[in-house]
Amino acid sequence: MEYKVFLIKYAEIGVKGKNRHLFEDALVRQMNYALEPVGDFRMRKESGRIFAEAESDFDFDEAVEALKTVFGISGICPIMVGEKTDLKDLRRLAAEYVGQEYEKKDFSFKAFVRRADKRFPGTSAELAAEIGEAVLMEYPDLTVDVHNPQVKLTVEIRDHIYIYSREIPGPGGMPVGTNGRAMLLLSGGIDSPVAGYMIAKRGVSIDAVYFHAPPYTSERAKQKVVDLASQVAHYSGPINLHIINFTDIQLAIYEKCPHDELTIIMRRYMMKLAEHFAVEQNCLGLITGESIGQVASQTMQSLFVTDHATGMPVYRPCIGLDKNEIIAISEKIGTYETSVLPYEDCCTIFVAKHPVTKPRLNVIERSEKKLKDCIDDLMREAIETVEVVKIHAHQ
Amino acid sequence: MSEIYFDNGATTRPFPEVRAIMAQVLDEDYGNPSSMHKKGFQAERYVTGAREIIARSLKVSPKEIFFTSGGTEANNLALLGSALAGRRQRKHIITSCIEHASVYNPLSFLEDEGFEVTYLPVNEKGLISLEDLQAALREDTLLVSVMCVNNEIGAVEPVEEIGRLVKAFDPAILFHTDCIQAYGKMDCRPKAWKADLLSVSGHKIHGPKGIGFLYIKEGTRIKPVLWGGNQEKGMRSGTENVPGIVGMGKAAQIIYQDHEEKVASIRKVKDHFISRVMKEVDQVRDNSGQAPHVASISFPGVRSEVLLHALEDKDIFVSAGSACSSNKPAVSGTLKGIGLTKDYYESTLRFSFSVYNTVEEADLCVEALKELLPVLRRFRRR
């Protein structure tokens, strides 16, 4: 007897009425994507639940880890599958399952039976009693508690006998692809991959922009962002990463605008470029990793000024988190180690010693007028020379 | 090939003959030298041949050559092995402040283990002073380790005088010299230098990576740091890296054929490059030492990393003089050691040449620098 099947439970999507099949389809699609490198699995939808049945050999832990990246899953139940023969075998299987699954046999339980194959003799209630008795005979320290059992031992009789009781928590959230698409401003830092992850968790598909500034940033810095995008893609599915050459815009700002406003003006042009590609990809919003007050460009005043650069909603899921809380998420999703690799990114190359922390929109807009002779051409150039890379979780 | 590879201090392009003989050893003569049959014997002959070539290049006995996985392991074996053998009698080690990490870090480890290490300073040319060395020598000095050619600026330390001075003070003190940047660019003569230990790496001389050797003078008190099947007379267990050994032997053979001409051609590129840069580029400082292949130049006003990537964009490959970035400053000991201030050590590039380089390439690189520097210097971090 071995695990061949997972029962996938989902929470929020169960309540979505007529749209439910859309949510289920998205969930199945994401499960297929996550399980692709693990083995061949067949997905079966059935009355509010999904079964993932292995059709090839696979590693159990690897499969569970993969399923834990699929938003929308609330619980993963590994199911033992046994040959369906007769009552005697059913009793034996149930006892065997308890023997293997639990080290200490001193808990209370209740047996549930679903008799999908109605040809199997006995009613569900009768079979539940049989199973309870069989397990108790084998492990006399167990107790039956029909009201508050510690373990719910579920047996389903289908083409085979399915037994499960354990539920591994899933990541929650909603299946990616059920809530539109947004454009993530991905830097090489800790925050932006976390922001992408958090928005993807609500079912949003993700695309990304990265601002590359050669020769101030290196090929390694670019590869780092590709790697981060790939790690986010484990949760969000494939990402179209737009690599934008930002050097000339940055140098123009550097030459023409007040130096202490450099970062905030740069952020505004980043927003405008991100918005351009967001519209192109049918995105409904921008995502950034900003958190109030973390750096000069993330004060309330700065965020206000940055927001005015775009007409799109800007989603900032890290906005209320402290750095250590963001780090904790990045460690959980596996992006932290990549994020802290020491390659220069374009935000750090020309940073002023004392950047403005309370920029005013009219002042910044006036400074930007100094770019009017060149900025349209430079923006066009940046848009035309974009490099788009499709990033997958499993490269 | 249109690329200009001026990073030969990092690694070199293997000679075609190296590749050919390695392919032969990988494809056909793949035996294990320890095997008793013909295939093993064949492999052993290759290793013996390489050992002889290398021994001849140093004018030492083949018995004194011990193959390792590279320069780092050769340095580790020299330092840790002699410390293991001599720790009961002597507890003091002398080195310079501009050694490579593969000397510096094993010595830091030995400090933790109770050894006392004296770090000799260097002058503005990167050279240690013999007076300092004389003053540092003690009754309980176990080992003196000073590199022959510095990897960052190409300073050539007075190894012969060092050896003489050390042995005059006490012949029992071991003298180790890291010749990883020296071998193949000059004659290395451990006997004349009175060196007991001398480290070399294969891939700096157009050989393969993953192979090197330690010269150990016969009778030197040293213990192995790897234990196993007693290959290399028990000094370095592990199945011999036959393709690597053979490749390195072939590279040594070629590099020391018409050696003076080869060195002259490398030096010509270096000298030409430096003289043009000094003449035609504003605000530069030449930190280069006497080694034929290393030019170290500071370009204050532009960060080395940025200039490096801008050259890379023109297919010119060089090294930053000191590995450092805004997130993780790791400033070079050598550049600080010779007294460079921040603006200089953060803007230093190393151009390192080989027999494959030409004066024309040096010209192209100078032109690229003249084009890039004025632009890059306009945009400094304020």
CATH number, domain containing residue A338: 3.40.50.620
Q: Can you tell me which residue has the tokens 């309980």?
A: B140
pLDDT band at A244 (very low <50, low <70, confident <90, very high): very high
B173 interfaces chain A, CB cutoff of 8 Å? no
Name all contacts of B284-289 with Cβ < 8 Å and 24+ positions apart: B285/B340, B285/B344, B287/B126, B287/B153, B287/B321, B287/B335, B287/B338, B287/B340, B287/B348, B288/B153, B288/B154, B289/B125, B289/B126, B289/B149, B289/B150, B289/B153, B289/B154, B289/B155, B289/B156
The residue among B90 and A352 whose pLDDT is bigger is B90
Question: Whole-number mean pLDDT of chain B?
Answer: 95
Q: Which two tokens stand for residue A252?
A: 């123009």
Q: Rounded to whole angstroms, how far apart are CA atoms B197 and B219? A: 11
The residue among A342 and B183 whose pLDDT is bigger is B183
> Would you state the pLDDT for residue A49?
78
Q: Which two tokens stand for residue A8?
A: 């996938």
Q: Rounded to whole angstroms, how far apart are CA atoms B182 and B157? A: 10
> Taken in order B201, B312, A226, A186, is the CA torsion positive or negative?
positive
A288 and A216 belong to one structural domain:
yes
Q: Least CA distance to B326: which residue of chain A?
A: A344
pLDDT tens across A193-220, in order? Answer: 999 999 999 999 999 999 999 998 889 9
**Would you say residue B4 lies in a domain?**
no
Number of H helices, E strands in chain B: 13, 13
A161 and A189 belong to one structural domain:
no
A380 and A258 belong to one structural domain:
yes
**Would you say residue B6 lies in a domain?**
no
Nearest residue, CB atoms, A216 vs list B306, B378, B382: B306
Residues 6+ apart with CB under 8 A from B77: B66, B68, B214, B222, B224, B225, B235, B236
Last residue of a domain, which of A135, A169, A203? A169
CA distances from B363 to B11, B225, B232 (A): 22, 47, 46
Last residue of a domain, which of B240, B255, B270? B255
pLDDT band at B329 (very low <50, low <70, confident <90, very high): very low
Q: Rounded to whole angstroms, how far apart are CA atoms B75 and B110? A: 13
B177 and B301 belong to one structural domain:
no
**Would you say residue A175 lies in a domain?**
no
Q: Can you tell me which residue has the tokens 């605000």?
A: B283
B96 and B187 belong to one structural domain:
yes
> pLDDT at residue B376 above 80?
yes
A219, A344, A346, A350: which to substitute to probe chain B, counting the most B Cβ within 10 Å?
Answer: A344
Last residue of a domain, which of B220, B255, B290? B255
Distance from CA of A342 to the nearest CA of B (A): 5
**Would you say residue B62 lies in a domain?**
yes
B355 interfaces chain A, CB cutoff of 8 Å? no
Q: Are β-strands B4-5 and B65-68 bridged in parallel, bridged antiparallel, or unpaired?
A: unpaired
- Nearest in space to B283 (alpha carbons), one of B356, B366, B158, B377: B377
Last residue of a domain, which of A111, A138, A169? A169
A233 and A359 belong to one structural domain:
yes
Q: Rounded to whole angstroms, how far apart are CA atoms A113 and A155? A: 5
B233 and B263 belong to one structural domain:
no
- Nearest in space to B205 (alpha carbons), one of B15, B7, B3, B23: B15
Structurally, how many domains does chain B consist of?
A: 2
Q: Rounded to whole angstroms, how far apart are CA atoms B6 and B382? A: 30
A270 and A144 belong to one structural domain:
no
CB burial of A257-268 (b: ≥16 within 10 Å; e: otherwise) equals: bebbbbbbbbbb
B301 and B234 belong to one structural domain:
no
Helix (H) or strand (E) holding B352: strand B348-352
pTM, 2 dp: 0.85
At A3 the three-state DSSP class reads: strand
**Residue A48, domain CATH:** 3.30.2130.30
B271 and B215 belong to one structural domain:
no
Instruction: Give ipTM to 2 decimals.
Output: 0.78
pLDDT tens across B76-90, in order? Answer: 999 999 999 999 999
Structurally, how many domains does chain A consist of?
A: 2
B236 and B96 belong to one structural domain:
yes
A154 and A62 belong to one structural domain:
yes
For residue A235, the enclosing domain spans 181-391
A322 and A370 belong to one structural domain:
yes
DSSP string, B355-373: TT--HHHHHHHHHHHHHHH
B77 and B146 belong to one structural domain:
yes
B189 and B48 belong to one structural domain:
yes
- Nearest in space to B321 (alpha carbons), one of B352, B290, B357, B291: B352
Distance from CA of A217 to the nearest CA of B (A): 8
**Would you say residue B140 lies in a domain?**
yes
B48 and B121 belong to one structural domain:
yes
- CB within 8 Å: A343 and B309: no
Average pLDDT score over residue span A93-118: 90
Examine residue A215 and say whether the peptide bond preceding it is cis (omega within 30 degrees of 0).
Answer: yes
**Would you say residue A176 lies in a domain?**
no
Share of chain A above pLDDT 70, in %: 96
B305 interfaces chain A, CB cutoff of 8 Å? yes
**Would you say residue A275 lies in a domain?**
yes
Last residue of a domain, which of A104, A135, A169? A169
- CB within 8 Å: A218 and B327: no
A341 and A292 belong to one structural domain:
yes
**Residue B247, domain CATH:** 3.40.640.10
**Would you say residue B239 lies in a domain?**
yes
Establish whether B188 is a catalytic residue.
no
Nearest residue, CB atoms, A348 vs list B312, B326, B379: B326
> pLDDT at residue B382 above 70?
no
Last residue of a domain, which of B202, B237, B255? B255
**Would you say residue A174 lies in a domain?**
no
- CB within 8 Å: B309 and A214: yes
Question: Whole-number mean pLDDT of chain A?
Answer: 91
A65 and A115 belong to one structural domain:
yes
Q: Least CA distance to A348: which residue of chain B?
A: B326
For residue B270, the enclosing domain spans 259-378
- CB within 8 Å: B313 and A215: yes
A223, A343, A347: which to substitute to probe chain B, counting the most B Cβ within 10 Å?
Answer: A343
A228 and A361 belong to one structural domain:
yes
> pLDDT at residue A354 above 90?
no
Kindly list the residues from chain B whose CB atom is less than 8 angstroms away from the CB atom of residue A223.
none
> Would you state the pLDDT for residue A116?
84
> pLDDT at residue B322 above 60?
no
B137 and B248 belong to one structural domain:
yes
B99 and B235 belong to one structural domain:
yes
